[in-house]
């Protein structure tokens, strides 16, 4: 049983970590684009409203896309860890845009313009802005990771809670409660809580470093 | 040479013109002092001339290259590297004084030894070599202003735009800054200084004084 708890913990962290990384590849460039191009800034409020999107809704949409008869059924991704990664990435992209936009904008308005005056190319300006706001951007990614780790709807609908393959913290807790194994559910809940608390402490420390 | 031709400027979302039909020329080896009341458009004019802001109407001509903004990309960066703007409120990158002064040289891919040589040279001229290892967080406003001046001087631009360069600088350091600017001019570079604090700047012998009011050049002497 102990081995299974470790396995679920490691799998949950790997899946949500990969989802956060995947989401950051889209979210951070989009947030930066919104900072430098005033004309496309209107998608930031849209991202803010999508940050609270119900996970079951994303799960349902993704299920319809990935099911055998769906348009992406040929990928055979349903009930795989990859499906959960894609779903959680879709979930946290708007959150990453919404939370990193402010940090990148503040940084761009001060050091971005300074870098331009000192002869930086567009790429050098972007790297400078990212470097200067790194702690706040990392804090934003940790918030996204935390949201991905704690969600249930996507993991359940497109992951299927398959033992040894797609079972993660949230689905495992839900299953334990459903079959009356409350001790198991509490144990996993405490581990999830410990991971989430450590993340919040890290976010606070990074934000503290900025002051 | 930088030439502003019929330049008009309005901020995004702004209603009023900040610059109205400005025609000016800035040359190497020339010192121009920009004067005018608050909100007369001095800072905006310098940011347009140093290619940070794109004019809403009119064009900026650099070395007879008509309207560099329409060429954009690498050309814009090439021309931007010929000029440097130093803000009235100095902004610092995270790190030490050395990191800040070396920033522009690093962007230009200078070798580490050349970066070090130039940083030490400019720091000695401005009397700040003892603070190169200091974290910029602990600097006073006056010290930050001198560091931001060093960060620009080290790049030896053809023309340097200085926004109120002496405002926060204390009496003791003012003479050193003025001497550094005089030396910079003697090397054939151009200086454009926006200031309300004229004291001491007459030592640099301005070639031209431009008076701005409500975004309009009202007098050139």
Split at pLDDT 50, 70, 90, the class of B129 is: very high
Q: Report pLDDT digits (tens) over A183-197.
A: 889 988 998 899 888
Mean pLDDT confidence for B86-115: 94
Give which of A12, A31, A52 is closest to A141, Cα–Cα: A31
pLDDT of residue B198: 62
* Inter-chain residue contact B52 with A110, CB threshold 8 Å: no
To test the contact with chain B by mutation, choose from A42, A110, A114, A120 the residue with the greatest count of B C-beta atoms within 10 A, namely A114
Per the CB < 8 A criterion, the answer to whether B86 and B148 are in contact is: yes
Query: Which of 174-203 (B) contact A at CB < 8 A?
Result: none
Q: A-chain residues within 8 Å CB-CB of B103?
A: 115, 118
CB neighbours of residue A74 within 10 Å: 9
Domains and CATH numbers, chain B: 2-220 (3.40.50.300)
pLDDT of residue A1: 62
Q: For residues A20 and A6, which has the higher predicted lDDT (pLDDT)?
A: A20
CA atoms of B182 and B201, how far apart (whole Å): 10
CA A167 remoteness from chain centre: 18
Q: A-chain residues within 8 Å CB-CB of B86?
A: 117
CA atoms of B205 and B221, how far apart (whole Å): 13
Mean pLDDT confidence for B22-48: 92
* Inter-chain residue contact B151 with A117, CB threshold 8 Å: no
Q: For residues B203 and A56, which has the higher predicted lDDT (pLDDT)?
A: A56
To test the contact with chain A by mutation, choose from B75, B77, B82, B150 the residue with the greatest count of A C-beta atoms within 10 A, namely B77
pLDDT at residue B214 greater than cutoff 70 = yes
pLDDT at residue B200 greater than cutoff 70 = no
Give which of B132, B77, B87 is closest to B108, Cα–Cα: B77
Split at pLDDT 50, 70, 90, the class of A140 is: very high
Mean pLDDT, chain B, as a whole number? 90
- Two structure tokens written together for B134: 């200091």
| Third-level CATH fold of A2-210 | MetI-like fold (1.10.3720)
Name residue B193's beta-bridge partners: B33, B162
Split at pLDDT 50, 70, 90, the class of B182 is: confident
To test the contact with chain B by mutation, choose from A103, A117, A131 the residue with the greatest count of B C-beta atoms within 10 A, namely A117
Give which of A208, A62, A35, A42 is closest to A129, Cα–Cα: A35
pLDDT of residue B147: 94
pLDDT of residue B215: 92
Locate the domains of chain A by residue range: 2-210
- Two structure tokens written together for B61: 């001509």
- Phi/psi for B6 (5° steps) reads 45, 50
Mean pLDDT confidence for B41-62: 93
CA atoms of B90 and A94, how far apart (whole Å): 34
pLDDT of residue A4: 84
Q: Is B217 left (phi over 0), alpha (psi -120 to 50) or beta?
A: beta
- Phi/psi for A106 (5° steps) reads -60, -45
Split at pLDDT 50, 70, 90, the class of B136 is: very high
Q: What is the ipTM of this complex?
A: 0.88
Split at pLDDT 50, 70, 90, the class of B12 is: confident
pLDDT of residue B75: 83
Query: Which of 33-62 (B) contact A at CB < 8 A?
Result: 50, 52
Split at pLDDT 50, 70, 90, the class of A211 is: low
Per the CB < 8 A criterion, the answer to whether A137 and A103 are in contact is: yes
Mean pLDDT confidence for A107-115: 92
Q: Among A205-209, B83-87, B116-120, B127-131, name the one with the lowest average pLDDT.
A: A205-209
CA atoms of B59 and B47, how far apart (whole Å): 13
- B94 close contact with A: CB closer than 8 A: yes
- B91 close contact with A: CB closer than 8 A: yes
């Amino acid at each position: 049983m102990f081995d299974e708890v470790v396995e679920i913990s490691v799998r949950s962290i790997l899946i949500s970590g990969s989802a956060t990384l995947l989401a950051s590849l889209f979210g951070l460039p989009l947030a930066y684009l919104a900072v430098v191009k005033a004309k496309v800034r209107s998608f930031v409020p849209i991202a803010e409203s999508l940050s609270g999107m119900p996970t079951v809704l994303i799960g349902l949409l993704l299920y319809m896309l990935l099911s055998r008869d769906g348009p992406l059924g040929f990928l055979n991704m349903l009930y795989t860890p990859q499906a959960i990664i894609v779903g959680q990435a879709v979930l946290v992209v708007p959150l990453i845009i919404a939370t990193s936009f402010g940090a990148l904008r503040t940084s761009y308005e001060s050091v971005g313009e300074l870098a331009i005056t000192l002869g930086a190319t567009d790429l050098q300006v972007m790297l400078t802005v990212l470097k200067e706001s790194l702690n706040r951007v990392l804090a934003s990614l940790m918030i996204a990771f935390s949201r991905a780790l704690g969600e249930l709807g996507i993991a359940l609908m497109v992951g299927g809670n398959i033992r040894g393959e797609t079972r993660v913290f949230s689905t495992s807790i839900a299953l334990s409660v459903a079959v009356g194994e409350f001790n198991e559910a509490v144990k996993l809940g405490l581990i999830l809580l410990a991971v989430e608390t450590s993340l919040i402490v890290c976010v606070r420390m990074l934000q503290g470093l900025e002051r | 040479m930088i030439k502003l031709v019929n330049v008009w400027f309005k901020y995004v979302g702004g209603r009023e013109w900040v610059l109205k039909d400005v025609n000016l020329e800035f040359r190497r080896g020339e010192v121009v002092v920009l004067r005018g009341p608050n909100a007369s458009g001095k800072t905006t004019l310098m940011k347009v001339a140093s290619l940070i802001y794109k004019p809403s109407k009119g064009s900026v001509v650099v070395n007879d290259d008509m309207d560099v903004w329409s060429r954009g990309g690498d050309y814009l960066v090439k021309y931007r590297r010929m000029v440097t703007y130093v803000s009235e409120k100095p902004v610092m990158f995270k790190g030490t004084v050395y990191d800040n002064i070396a920033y522009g040289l690093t962007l230009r891919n200078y070798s580490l030894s050349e970066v070090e040589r130039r940083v030490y040279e400019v720091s000695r001229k401005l009397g700040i070599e003892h603070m190169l290892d200091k974290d910029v967080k602990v600097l006073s406003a006056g010290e930050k202003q001198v560091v931001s001046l060093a960060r620009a001087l080290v790049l030896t631009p053809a023309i340097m735009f200085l926004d109120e360069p002496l405002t926060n600088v204390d009496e003791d350091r003012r003479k050193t800054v003025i001497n550094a600017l005089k030396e910079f001019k003697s090397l054939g570079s151009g200086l454009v200084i926006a200031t309300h604090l004229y004291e001491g700047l007459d030592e640099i012998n301005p070639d031209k004084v431009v008076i701005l009011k409500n975004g309009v050049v009202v007098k050139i002497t």
